Amino acid sequence: MEFTAEQIAKLLQGKVEGDKNIVVNCFSKIEEGKSGSLSFLANPKYTNYIYETEASIVLVNNDFVGQKEITSTLIRVEDSYKAIAQLLEIYNSITEKPSGIEKNVFIHKKAKTGKNIYVGAFAYIGKDAQIGDNVQIYPGVYVGNGVKIGDNSVIYPGVKIYYNTIIGKDCTIHAGSVIGADGFGFAPNGNEAFVKIAQIGNVVIEDNVEIGALVTIDRATLGSTIIRKGVKLDNHNHIAHNVEIGQNTVIAAQSGIAGTAKIGENCMFGGQVGIGPHVKIANGTKMSAQSGIANNIKKEDSILMGAPAFDIRDYHRSYIHFKNLDKIVKRLDELERQLGKK
């Protein structure tokens, strides 16, 4: 698909500066801009690139003032970052979506499927599963018995969903994720070995949740592991049995949440964070990457770092001293010398 500067400006209610007939067919970053691509300048740190970029069109803010010659055609808009997000969204929505039922699928005769769905080859839909309207199930997905998937959700290749999992509307689950495997529950048998505790609960994922690739969300021992609406989970996250994650919480990659922990709403996790079992995290808590949290966080909107984690400013202050510990100990040695102890 190709668009002229004029067409794009109209779409964004912007103003063309330069060749209104110049044509683009893809997007680029301003520092990598090639002829035929559309780019944008939102972060002032990148301003220098606008004088060198080969992008045919650059979106800029209305108040942008160039300091040197610019060869690209400009489109001035109120907020160039929002404008590019808007364009990306449009581009995405007109991209070809897969549809229909491909050959070589397994759909149990007792499964119920909605209108206008896509089921890719080698996908498996078990007994009593319920698939909503407009759902996309990519190749190699496994949907266990009794699973429900809400309207418009997209399940990418190779996702495995165990029995009785419930997934809401407008959810996305990326490739290879595993939803509803057994929680990690074992009881000592008194003889140094362990006996498995049956895990007969399920996983409930509410609407508008996005789950990255290779994420695990374990089923509850009893009851449900619950992911509230609007939650975003990055790749390699691990959510253990009976965890609850509050709405609109965002968790970066490779973080893990142990069994029965309860995470508040609107929290933000950096990558590789670990939350201990039974821990409760207050709403709005922010955790720096690699934080470890073994006790409840009761104060809302705390910002934490370290393992065990505490206030991020205090952590940074302590860490500066940690880096200087050798000097600090030398000062202590000197004082002791002065006082005749060494």
Which range in 6-14, 109-117, 206-214, 296-304 contacts its own copies by CB under 8 A?
206-214
| Residue number with CB closer to its own copies (21 or 90) | 90
Site for its own copies, residues 131 to 160, rule: CB under 8 A: 138-140, 142, 144, 156-158, 160
Among 241, 278, 316, 321, the one annotated catalytic: 241
How many angstroms separate the CA atoms of 38 and 222, rounded?
52
Measure the CA–CA gap between 201 and 77, rounded to whole angstroms: 51
In angstroms, the CA 84 to CA 26 distance is 12
Residue 207 DSSP label: T
- Report if residue 112 touches its own copies, rule: CB under 8 A: no
Options 4-12, 66-74, 111-119, 185-193: segment touching its own copies (CB under 8 A): 185-193
Return the residue of 14, 150, 168, 256 that touches its own copies, per CB under 8 A.
256
Choosing from 213, 280, 296, 303, the residue that interacts with its own copies (CB under 8 A) is 213
Chain mean position to CA 100: 28
What's the first-to-final CA gap in the chain, in angstroms? 80
Quick check: is 174 catalytic? Answer: no
Kind plus residue range of the DSSP H or E element containing 312:
helix 312-323
Site for its own copies contains 169 (CB under 8 A)? no
Residue 308, preceding peptide bond in cis (omega within 30° of 0):
yes
The residues, any chain, with a CB within 8 Å of residue 143's CB and separated by 6 or more, are 111, 123, 124, 125, 126, 129, 131, 137, 149, 155, 161
User: What track of x and - describes contact with its own copies for positions 90 through 109 (by CB under 8 A)?
Assistant: -xx---------xxx-x---
Which CB sits closer to its own copies, 4 or 247? 247
- Please, what is the minimum distance in Å from the beta carbon of residue 102 to its own copies? 7
Longest Cα–Cα distance of the chain, Å, equals 89
**Which lies closer to its own copies via its Cβ, residue 20 or residue 175?**
175
Determine if 120 is a binding residue for its own copies (CB under 8 A): yes
When binding is defined by CB under 8 A, the residue of 15, 196, 298, 299 that contacts its own copies is 196
Q: What are phi and psi of 197, to 5 degrees?
A: -90, 120
Task: Give me 108's structure tokens.
Answer: 């149990």
Complex with its own copies: residue 26 or 51, whichever CB lies closer: 26
Task: Please list every residue from 43 through 62 that binds its own copies, using CB under 8 A.
Answer: none
Amino acid at 287: M
Chain residues 298-337 in contact with its own copies, contact rule CB under 8 A: 307-308, 310, 314, 317-319, 321-326, 328-329, 331-332, 335-336
Q: Interaction with its own copies in 260-299: which residues (CB under 8 A)?
A: 265-266, 271-272, 274, 276, 289-290, 292, 294
3-state secondary structure 110-165: CCEECCCCEECCCCEECCCCEECCCCEECCCCEECCCCEECCCCEECCCCEECCCC
Q: Which of 3, 17, 24, 28 touches its own copies by CB under 8 A?
A: 28
Cα atoms in the 13 Å half-sphere on the side-chain side of 205: 33
Total residues binding its own copies (CB under 8 A):
104
**Measured from the CB atom, is 78 or 89 closer to its own copies?**
89
- 5-12 and 80-94 are packed helices; what angle lies between their axes, rounded to 10 degrees? 110
Structure tokens belonging to residue 207: 């609407």
- What part of residues 215-234 is at the interface with its own copies (CB under 8 A)? 216, 218, 221-223, 230, 232, 234
Q: Quick one: which of 184, 280, 300, 312 contacts its own copies (CB under 8 A)?
A: 184
Catalytic residues, which ones?
A: 241
